[in-house]
Structure 1
């Protein structure tokens, strides 16, 4: 019998060095036995050490790709990464409007990538505002780190900033990679439940894996999307994704230069 895999729509940026972005999404979702339909929203010029240039895809091309895929697939989840421009974010918002109208319970996961992991902007203030006004209200879960959380809300207190975003509807998972407890060798991921969702706030204390890594946010958010596409709840998907990313970091490999790359190509 042919096997049916859940289809996950991914809209994200291309990192030609292969460390992060849409390649990380494809590898992660493939490892989790999902079919990834990847749509590139922003092309970049970067190597393993630095982002040199970023060029958003033309919004009309992005729109045509999304309309074509929507007509062909029944998606089980949507994962969003760097969108590149306010114009592209508006196109994505219209796509989410159509997709959620047909499937109100679909999981939509946003990793609000505003900077490359090694520096360099991937969006401006108009993009940030469009995310807040038009994209985030359609999301089930957003996964900002603390700098992204502050940039999006202007709120210096992470708990207050998470509540501010959750009032727009989605649950907010604040990832702790930028606020590590080196004394205990841990980081904390904190979940605030969205205003229109059931559940309760939770915290997870994660043991650190030594080293500096590339594309961890992409990997983590895609793993959550993959598990939710398979029918797991937000909290169960987060727990399984944390286990998944720990394995990828423990097996991470080194390129000629730059940060280590999580080994995403394995069956968990």
Structure 2
């Protein structure tokens, strides 16, 4: 695949922020985001919204970071270092979502906000809850209207829209329902769509549909795939890619990361962005 360009030695790279939860097992969350940021040559900044207690077998608990610390991290980075794109992940509660949304609106009213990719993390791949049920409405009403792009998986789509995606028809219904909640673009990922032998994603801007397909990688080690896709999309947007081109790039990136996934612990291992270390031009 064609990678994003790397900065010249000594040159300040583009900056992308992740506003998400920390994964103690290192497979998903902020850790997965930072791996993709680094491998794609951008400087990663963080606002830690929650700290999880998890390993390859699941999430055992999590701790929410105080609101002023979450928003403070965003403000001090944006006003000093600057960011060219951002993504959200696990935000845990209504209060955190409202605080992040308010802070992002403040940034928009200033010099203008960078593209924002919202990965609406509701539960882990093991089914462990990562978002209080009461926060779903806040996600829909406060954060989605600020998003350049939302990137839910099929379980998250069902929780957010009530639509159970089982085929191409319901996937189209779901992406339209997501877009109606206010984001500029909506993406319904098809990695878990078992009715297809491939992995079909569908992107929608309120007028046009864009389809992205890739081979389905036969692996049980897919921890962090959603985080990685959203992180790669944010990196491409920081480089000035259009949303369809950014999604296409990220789709190719996460496919390679799935191909290079490795076992870890006694459960599901992570997708791996480390393959780029073996690629030419690094």
Q: How does 1:37-186 map to 2 (within 5 A)?
A: 37-104=45-112, 106-156=114-164, 157-167=170-180, 168-181=182-195, 185-186=197-198
**Gapped runs of 5+ residues in structure 2?**
1-8, 165-169
Corresponding residue for 1:191?
203
2:231 is the counterpart of 1:222? yes
Q: Is the 8 A contact 1:27 1:264 kept in 2?
A: yes
Aligned residue number for residue 22 of structure 1: 30
Shift of 1:90: 0.9
Q: How many Å separate the matches in 2 of 1:124 and 1:256?
A: 28
Summarize the Cα distance change of 1:46–1:81 in structure 2 as closer, same or farther, 3 Å threshold. Answer: same
CA distance in 1, matches of 2:203, 2:233: 13
Equivalents in 1 of 2:257, 2:31: separation in Å?
15
TM-score normalised by length of structure 2: 0.87
Unaligned runs of 5+ in 1: none
Aligned residues: 262
Question: Which deviations, in whole Å up to 9, do the C-alpha atoms of 1:78-98 show, x marking residues without a partner?
Answer: 100010111111110012112
Q: Could you state the TM-score of these two structures normalised by the residue count of structure 1?
A: 0.92
Do residues 232 (structure 1) and 241 (structure 2) align?
yes
Alignment RMSD (CA, Å): 1.7
Corresponding residue SS for 1:186: coil
1:118, distance to aligned residue in structure 2 (A): 1.6
